[in-house]
Amino acid sequence: MDEESKRRIEALEQSGPGALMQKMGLEWIETSATKVVARVPVEGNTQPYGLFHGGASAALAETIASVGAWLADQTKITMGIEIKVNHLRPGRSGWITGTGIPLHAGRTIQMWEIRMTDDDGKLTAFGTCTIAVRDP
């Protein structure tokens, strides 16, 4: 991980990842305005059958997109206004890693693509998230 990513991650951790992401066990791997990578453990984030919860996929995707949009202009606040996630394969153990890239990085609206994979690199879910970028 490069020094700039380390600095951004430290800033994010100081401001707090938010109560939900703390409960989910989120770990930042890479952060920039053009790529965000984070992961959460399957354990503790499952549905009744013991598989990674679809809501956990959506929360991970929206967090990645919101943080990426915020990194483009840290004087603004960012919030998800639409999310779509296709669940392709169940996460059974280990970690689910989300990698987000912006498809459109406008001044007031951004759209991000988020691919979520298991520890074997297999695609478990694919999502898009639209982010509003606003003054505080």
Q: What is the pLDDT of residue 20?
A: 86
Residues 5-9: contacts with CB within 8 Å, 24+ apart? 5/30, 5/31, 5/32, 8/32, 8/71
Structural domain span for residue 110: 3-134
Q: What is the pLDDT of residue 3?
A: 78
Please count the structural domains in the chain: 1
pLDDT digits (tens, 9 = 90+) for 65-92: 999 999 999 889 999 999 999 999 999 9
Is the pTM for the entire model greater than 0.75?
yes
CATH code, domain with 93: 3.10.129.10
Of 94 and 2, which is predicted with more confidence?
94
pLDDT digits (tens, 9 = 90+) for 54-66: 999 999 999 999 9
Q: What is the pLDDT of residue 2?
A: 67
- Known catalytic residue: 62? yes
* Per annotation, catalytic residue among 3, 62, 82, 113: 62
